[in-house]
Amino acid sequence: MLVLKEHGVGSPTLAQPYVERFVGIAAQQNGWPGAAGQYFTTRAPAEAFIAAHEPHYGILSLAAFLGLREKYRLDVIGRVESSLVGGQQYFVVSRSASDTAGCKGKRLASDHTDDPRFVERVIARGAFKLSEFTVIQNQRPLLSLRQVITGKADCALIDDAQLAELAKLEGGGDVKVVWKSRELPAMTLVAFPAAPAAERKKFQESLGGICAGDGQTACGEVGIRSLAVATDREYADLLSAYGK
């Protein structure tokens, strides 16, 4: 199993032991000898892992799921209720503008613009296009907020995890939300073609119990509140918006 949490705050090295413990609980309940899990925060190493190990399952952040779904023939098998913020809602913030129109033609900072299709079709839903701004593409999650605070950017596209940090930054009180997206599913549980049908069915049937009892702590350590069965039908609107 691989876990791909894009734009996550924190070190993959610190998260890895918790992922291994979570996979161990799932393996124990489902009879997976030798099961292993790997945590990633970017797609390139996650794709290298897929090519090398042919995983059966993955827990992916929404943009990664939509971007990789067709290439790897991913099937939705579960919904992940997360206790961690990040990727569940997006916001445009500014010190000077009062709406997205006030940001257009100006500098928009973000670390989320690496997938323009996801931003424009799933997050914005027609509210704006990246071509309407001078985009400052960042890698570090809090840099965009600091650029707005210091005037190096006029606006920023951030997610709920970054918004939660805004009040902690000096000068953050001057930055206001001028637009917000609808709420989105943060993480999705998928099956790869390598997962046999019988194994996949048994795993789905066990989802409700993985984060109960002994598994509760392990799930909590990787930010999972609960797991529930889901299918592609429940993602139809998002799949249609993202397109091919």
Three-state secondary structure along 61-93?
EHHHHHHHHHHHCCEEEEEEEECCCCCCCEEEE
Q: Can you give the length of the chain in residues?
A: 244
Q: Where in the chain is the domain with CATH 3.40.190.10?
A: 90-180
How far apart CA 70 and CA 72 sit, in angstroms, is: 6
How far apart CA 43 and CA 48 sit, in angstroms, is: 9
Q: Where in the chain is the domain with CATH 3.40.190.180?
A: 2-82+185-242
The CATH fold of domain 90-180: D-Maltodextrin-Binding Protein; domain 2 (3.40.190)
pLDDT of the chain, 244 residues: tens digit per residue: 999 988 866 667 777 888 888 899 999 899 999 899 999 988 999 999 999 999 999 999 999 999 999 999 999 999 988 877 688 999 999 999 999 999 999 999 999 999 999 999 999 999 999 999 999 999 888 999 999 999 999 999 999 989 999 999 999 999 999 999 999 987 899 999 999 999 999 999 999 889 888 788 888 877 788 899 999 999 999 999 998 6
Say which residues have a Cβ less than 8 Å from residue 136's Cβ, sequence separation at least 6. 107, 108, 109, 110, 144, 147, 152, 153
Q: What pLDDT, on the 0 to 100 scale, is given for residue 97?
A: 97
Name the CATH code of domain 2-82+185-242 (choices 3.40.190.180, 1.10.287.3610, 3.60.20.10, 3.30.465.10).
3.40.190.180
Q: What pLDDT, on the 0 to 100 scale, is given for residue 244?
A: 65
Q: What pLDDT, on the 0 to 100 scale, is given for residue 95?
A: 96
* pTM for the model: 0.89
